[in-house]
Chain A
Amino acid sequence: MSSTPNVTSKTPTSVVSGKTKARMTAILSVIIGFYLWSSFETDSFITNFDAEFWTNTWNMVIQLFPPNWNYAQVVWPKLIETIHMAIIATTIAAILCIPLSLLAANNIVTSKFLYNIVKAFLNILRTIPDIILAVIFVGLFGIGVFPGILALIIFSLGILAKLISETIEAIDNNPLEAIRASGGNTLQVIWYAVVPQILPQFVSFTLYVFEINIRASVVLGLVGAGGIGLLLQQQINFLAYQNVFTLIVIVFVVVVIIDYISNKLREGLL
């Protein structure tokens, strides 16, 4: 070795600068501080995990077993209803989200005003919990599948439009420039440069939302918006946990199948 390192006062002794260190410490303290506060407010203490907690949990969990397969036959019709609801809601949301997400992408829309309006609208849409949407639509249209579908549409539209518009914002802008430079107008730019780039993500996000919709309908049924959740609520009310578990397993299998199919589709597209 030609030069032995000479330790001087200028020699750094840490991997980050002092300023960064201080900032990290501050951030960490804030996170932990908040956590302690909310632990306090919600009585979440590690001491709650005492033996009693585990026995009680265990007593509940064993009641789930074994799943009652006889109950499965009751589930089928509602499961199919759930799938139908999810298909319709996802399809409509996917169609509606196209113009919305284009308008909410800052590399497509040059008008800051329009962009902000659409973005704000989508943000508000996303803030509303699915359960409230369902409750309101049930209030408007009466109990049934229809308000459920509406709630799912609005709910998934918010998610989908956000995901897609972020995808659009992240695409390679160079081809857009190339099309623009050869005289294409906005629609042509979208069709030739944006659509091919986002198509795989569009499909995969749509399938993702489809999965979310299936899961969400488990919740919606609680307030009378159709689907499999209605059964969940009833079985919980009868304290029939084996049936509940059957239901959960069935939903799980459906979701896994959807996951599988969507992976295959994604592979085919990319």
Chain B
Amino acid sequence: MEMNMPPKPKRSSKKLVKRFIISISLVALYLWTFLSINDIIKWDRVFSERTITNFDRVIPKLFSPDYASFGKVMEKMVETLFIAYAGSLMAAILAVPFAFLAASNMVRNKFLNTLGKWILNAVRTFPEIMLALIFVAAIGPNAFAGVLAIGLHSIGMLGKLYSEVIESIDMHVVEAMEANGANKIQILFYGIIPQVIPEFLSYAIYRFEIDVRASTILGIIGAGGIGTLIVISVANRNWNEVGMILLVIIVVVTIIDYLSAFIRKRIV
């Protein structure tokens, strides 16, 4: 059998140029990053003897949690959970209309579409801490301010995820409904919602997990949750208590993770 070598692959020059530009910019980006970050990070300080003694001092304490503060920590953790639950549920519902607006297969108007996407993006960029500040000013330093901050912020992310779910549904089904004379609203309830509901729920639960973590920060400005405790025990260098907080968060969030994974599996 005579052996022929395959022809060399042809690459369009346009593609080559594109690749070249991308590579160059990547290299430049990294050079720039590493050169300037070296100025900012004081390496000799990061890896000083002090760091080693810090490790000796902090790490053992982190791993011997202060069990005496369990009650206090748990109480705040439970509050955090409530905030996260109320906030995510609120977001799970309010995100739906935005998601439909932002889904390109639902709203054919490109302008509205982009508008929807931008709203969601903008909401997401607003730091929770600033939202919480606004709501604390509006209704006082209580958990509800935290719920609103978490909820509003979550609408951004859930809306985006939802809209992606909607964009990925089987449009043939929609076509089939169209073909038997259903109107838009009927199509929505018979063709679209059954397809998206499990994913919606699953994302909402997933968002709840994230919100549990996110609401830890709210305490800093008095909007409830475990955040105040964290900041105060760190400021007091009470690493045992930080250890306890860490432990409680890990355990509680892990339990939630498992529960939600279990529920999500049953939904889809």
A244 to B85, CA, bound (A): 28
Q: Is the beta-carbon distance between B46 and A252 smaller than 8 angstroms? A: no
Identify which of residues 30-62 in chain B touch chain A, using a CB-to-CB cut-off of 8 Å.
Answer: 30, 33-34, 36-37, 40-42, 45-46, 50-51, 54-55, 58-59, 62
**What is the bound-complex CA distance between A85 and B36, given in angstroms?**
10
**Bitwise interface map of B from 60 to 93 toward A, beta carbon under 8 Å scored 1, else 0:** 0010000000000000001101110110011000
Please choose the segment from A2-10, A53-61, A186-194 that sits at the chain B interface, where 4 or more of its residues have CB less than 8 A away. A53-61
The segment from B4-12, B105-113, B209-217 that touches chain A is B209-217
Interface of A is mostly: helix
Assess the A44–B133 pair: CB atoms within 8 A: no
Chain B residue at minimal CB-CB distance from A142: B45
At the interface, yes or no: B126 with Cβ under 8 Å from chain A?
Answer: yes
Q: Is the CB of B134 within 8 A of A129?
A: no
Q: How far is the CB of A207 from chain B (nearest CB, A)?
A: 13
B contact residues around A136 at 8 Å (CB): 58, 62, 242, 246
Most chain B CB inside 10 Å of its own CB: which residue of A34, A88, A146, A149: A146
Determine whether the beta carbon of A145 is less than 8 Å from that of B121: no
Q: Is the CB of A131 within 8 A of B51?
A: no
Known pairs A87-B33, A252-B122; A144 contacts B129 (CB<8 A): no
For A, the interface residue count at a CB cutoff of 8 angstroms equals: 61
Query: Which of B133, B234, B237 has most A Cβ within 10 Å?
Result: B234
- Segment touching B, from A67-75, A108-116, A120-128, A175-183: A120-128
The answer, yes or no, to whether A222 is at the interface (CB within 8 Å) is yes
A267 contacts the other chain (Cβ, under 8 Å)?
no
B264 CB, nearest partner CB in chain A, Å: 12
Q: Does B177 have its Cβ within 8 Å of any Cβ on chain A?
A: no
Q: Are B227 and A131 in contact (CB under 8 A)?
A: yes
Cβ of B36 and Cβ of A80 under 8 Å apart?
yes
B234 close to A135 (CB less than 8 A): yes
Min CB distance B16 to A, Å, is 14
In-complex Cβ contact of B40 among A42, A45, A81 (8 A)? A81
- 1/0 per residue, CB under 8 A from B, across A128-146: the answer is 1111100110011110111
The answer to whether B79 touches A42 (Cβ under 8 A) is yes
What residues of B have a CB within 8 angstroms of the CB of A161 in the complex? Answer: none
A255 touches B121 (CB 8 A): yes
In the bound complex, do residue A131 and residue B40 qualify as a contact, i.e. CB atoms below 8 Å apart?
no
Binds A, one of B96-104, B141-149, B166-174, B179-187: B141-149
4 closest cross-chain pairs (CB), A and B: A42-B143, A127-B253, A56-B138, A38-B82
In A197-253, which residues have CB < 8 Å from any B CB? 215, 218-219, 222-223, 226, 232, 236, 244, 248, 251-252
Q: Could you tell me if B129 and A232 are in contact, using CB atoms closer than 8 angstroms?
A: yes
Contacts of A255 in B (CB 8 A): 121, 124-125
Q: Does A20 interact with chain B (Cβ within 8 Å)?
A: no
Say yes or no: B41 contacts A146, CB within 8 Å. Answer: yes
- From known contacts A127-B253, A128-B250, A219-B127, infer whether A43 and B144 are also in contact, taking CB-CB under 8 Å: yes
Q: Kindly provide the distance from the CB of B64 to the nearest chain A CB, expressed in whole angstroms.
A: 15
Q: What A residues does B81 contact at CB under 8 A?
A: 38
B79 lies within 8 A of A124 (CB): no
10 pairs across A/B with beta carbons < 8 Å? A57-B134, A57-B137, A87-B30, A127-B249, A129-B249, A135-B234, A145-B37, A145-B40, A236-B129, A255-B121
B134 proximity list for chain A (CB < 8 A): 57, 60-61
In-complex Cβ contact of B217 among A53, A126, A131 (8 A): A131
Whether B27 is near chain A, meaning CB under 8 Å from some CB there, is: no
Is A144's CB under 8 angstroms from B41's CB?
A: yes
Give the size of the chain B interface in residues (CB under 8 angstroms): 69
Chain A residue contacts of B242, Cβ below 8 A = 132, 135-136, 139
Q: Which one of A31, A41, A42, A61 has the highest number of Cβ atoms from chain B below 10 Å of its Cβ?
A: A42
Task: Check if B85 sits within 8 Å of A34, measured CB to CB.
Answer: yes
Known: A87-B29, A136-B242, A248-B125. A127 touches B58 (CB 8 A): no
Q: A61-B134, A123-B254, A252-B122 are in contact. Are A218 and B127 (CB under 8 A)?
A: yes
When distances are taken between beta carbons in the complex, the residues of chain A under 8 Å from B59 are 140
Complex interface: chain B residues within 8 A of A130 (CB)? 213
Interface residue? A173 (CB, 8 A): no
- Interface centre among B29, B125, B239, by most chain A C-beta atoms within 10 angstroms, is B125
Residues of B within 8 A of A61 (CB): 134
Judge if A35 is at the interface, Cβ distance under 8 Å.
Answer: yes
Rounded to whole angstroms, the CA-CA distance of A35 and B230 in the bound complex is 27
Flag if B142 contacts A43 (CB, 8 Å).
yes
CA distance A126 to B253 in the complex (A): 9
Query: How far is the CB of A126 from the nearest CB of chain B, in Å?
Result: 8
B3 near A: Cβ within 8 Å?
no
Partner of A42, one of B18, B42, B129, B224: B224
